[in-house]
Structure 1
Amino acid sequence: MSDAVNTTVPVDAPAVVDDPCAAAVAGDFDRPMHIAAIFIIMGTSFLGTMLPIVGKRFVRSQVGSSAITLLKLFGAGVILATSLVHMFTPANETLTNACLPPAFSKSYKSFAAVFAIAGIFATHLLQLYAGQMIRKQQESASMPLPAPATIVVHKQVDAGAPLPVEASSSSSSNGGSDAGEQGMVTHHEGHTHGGVMLHSREKQLVVFLLELGIASHSVIIGVTLGNATDEFRTLLVALCFHQFFEGLALSAIVMEAEFKRWTMAVGMVVFYTLTTPMGIALGIALRESFNANATHTLLATGILDAVSAGILLYDGLVNVVYPHFADKSFERSSGVWQAAQLVAMYVGCGIMSLIGYWA
């Protein structure tokens, strides 16, 4: 009688199914190329941010000024597309991922919109109260001198004669211009946009908010590239264009902020240049243990992307697009120049939206 072991698998044995939410480490991972990507992305980011700065320094004619205006509006379109195409849409997909608890993935489908609104309101509150503080400091720093002494000319007053005449060392024929001058701000301190005075320090706050929104997203896409395998080369090319045009956008708006210290503007350029490379390095270092489908990873990336989308959307529309097109200089410009400015913004938005197909 044979002693052979029966190796037949029972019919009702459960089939082994791979966990779709487990860490995905499969694919061809080219470590040297990933390391090279750190410097490639760094170079394209730096090139994008430096082009407007160098151009403004060496081109000071009216043509150069017009080119900077077009770059700023091109950048505004890039920022709007970045907020909706590159941040909000991925955030919505992430926060409805099946690997999240049912409260996120099934019960409520609008968490991305909620966090985007939170980013909008947080940006609005910060700008509102910071702007009030800036204006109060500006007013206290430019307090008007005491009014000149009033001289009363006494005359003999007969019945029905006019009352005593008050004279001042400054003529009243200027139509109250003195009172108006007390509240004026010099051109380099602020500009009026649609009836709203934006001081230089308020413009600088706008740039800081933009940098905050862009930086968080840059780290996330850097980590994604650092972990990429088969899709690495396509993603690298797309991110090169992404960082270049985003750098153009940020740099053009930095120049509008009129930083008195060039070191501040350069520091912001350097910070932007380094954020995505830092994310790539982090992605390479954590590749073996990184799980893009883990609950904490999905929540962190989804919430950060959604909040950043709200920040950029508010900043782009309220602080860049509306003030520019509400300004009297745009209204007084020729139809051709108005159309050129609008086209620049639409082209920036279109190019960045197209890049979203790959990145």
Structure 2
Amino acid sequence: MAKFKNMVFWYILLLLPAIVLGECTCDSEDEERNKPEALKYKMAALAAILVASAIGVCIPVLGKAIPALSPERSFFFIIKAFAAGVILATGFIHVLPDAFERLTSPCLKENPWGNFPFSGFIAMVVAMATLMVDTYATSYYKKKSMKTGVLVAQSGNEEGVIHAHSHGHASMMAGSDSELLRNRVISQVLELGIIVHSVIIGIALGASESPKTIRPLVGALTFHQFFEGMGLGGSIGQAKFKSGAVAIMVLFFSLTTPIGIIIGLGITNAYDENSPTALIVEGVFDSASAGILIYMALVDFLAADFMHPRMQSNGKLQLGANVSLLLGAGLMSLIAKWA
């Protein structure tokens, strides 16, 4: 009997590592597949996400229609703080962990993917690249605005206008134009970062055939896109684009995830989320998206607004912005439980 127990003990001991390693597989997960039912949830997700994205991105954009949402009002700082919290949490909690998971998958070769933290590296490089684009674009537009300002000043002097007045007016115009153009660069780069991530989650949802997987994602991604839309809408509102450009940016963001879902539906049979190609492509794009979102939230939203003279001189506004920031980041982090 003792000998038999000994054999059982050693058998379990030798088998245990194989069981543990066996959990880590590259085969598609054995989910409850139900194509017709999954399709119903996908259609519901497509409609819900489209409506939520459009509403979320339009709320801050309607500054002219709703005076309280105007970028000139202090309340706009509260909205932007909430948006920054949402974008920051999206980068750190939703996108970057997905990138790490994909690029450290056992389905990829150990060399090079297991030997270097590519996700963090790509996010860092893209964040630095975003900084460079931000810096050079701002510098270019500032020089361009100053040139325009000098021409205005010279023109004013030729017409007999007082030099100091014309020069001061031109400088103010140049500064205002430079800030406006920088806000436009910020909103366009931010939309790029958000869209990359939105397409990926749309394709993943559309390609899934498991109602059990899709069901919780419908509500979670609806709220996810709504809050992300608010963040982008705040940036678009501050950029003061013409109506046509605003409509294009709003439409582009609103349609991105639904288009991703449609692409996912089209490639359902061919798509394998555990294939090395899918893992590498999604992991690299997620890493890049995370780098853009984290940089934009910290530098172009939080640092710029929290150091703004209006914020620095108003204690109540500071408190409101801090609470709003924590609320935005907290809600977006909570959604990660389901999405």
Deviation at 1:68, TM superposition (A): 2.7
What does 1:157-196 align with in structure 2 at a 5 Å threshold? 181=168, 184-186=171-173, 189-190=176-177
1:94-146 CA deviation, whole Å, 9 max, x = no partner?
A: 110000111244322x1111100111121112122222221121112121318
Of the three residues 248, 256, 269, the one matched with 2:230 is 248
Percent of pairs identical after alignment? 30
Contact 1:134/1:201 (<8 A) preserved: yes
AA at the equivalent of 1:132: S
Task: Show the counterpart of 1:311.
Answer: 292
2:139 equivalent to 1:132? yes
1:1-43 CA deviation, whole Å, 9 max, x = no partner?
A: xxxxxxxxxxxxxxxx999323458522322331332122101
Q: CA RMSD in A?
A: 2.8
Task: Show the counterpart of 2:266.
Answer: 285
**How many Å separate the matches in 2 of 1:63 and 1:181?**
24
Task: Show the counterpart of 1:114.
Answer: 121
**How many Å separate the matches in 2 of 1:189 and 1:242?**
34
**How many Å separate the matches in 2 of 1:307 and 1:245?**
21
1:250-278 CA deviation, whole Å, 9 max, x = no partner?
A: 1012111122x121112111100000001
Cα 1:147/1:281, change in 2 over 3 Å: closer
2:55 equivalent to 1:47? yes
Structure with bigger helix share is 2
AA at the equivalent of 1:348: G
Q: How many residues align?
A: 310
**How many Å separate the matches in 1 of 2:69 and 2:219?**
35
Deviation at 1:236, TM superposition (A): 0.9
**How many Å separate the matches in 2 of 1:61 and 1:111?**
40
**TM-score, structure 2 as length reference:** 0.83
Report the secondary structure of 2:34's partner residue. coil
Task: Show the counterpart of 2:109.
Answer: 101
**TM-score, structure 1 as length reference:** 0.79
- Structure 2 unmatched ranges of 5 or more: 1-21
Larger Rg: 1
AA at the equivalent of 2:298: L
2:243 equivalent to 1:262? yes
Cα 1:60/1:350, change in 2 over 3 Å: closer
Task: Name which of structure 1's ranges 59-68 and 69-78 shifts more when overlaid on structure 2.
Answer: 59-68
Cα 1:147/1:66, change in 2 over 3 Å: closer
AA at the equivalent of 1:91: A
AA at the equivalent of 1:305: D
Task: Show the counterpart of 1:337.
Answer: 317
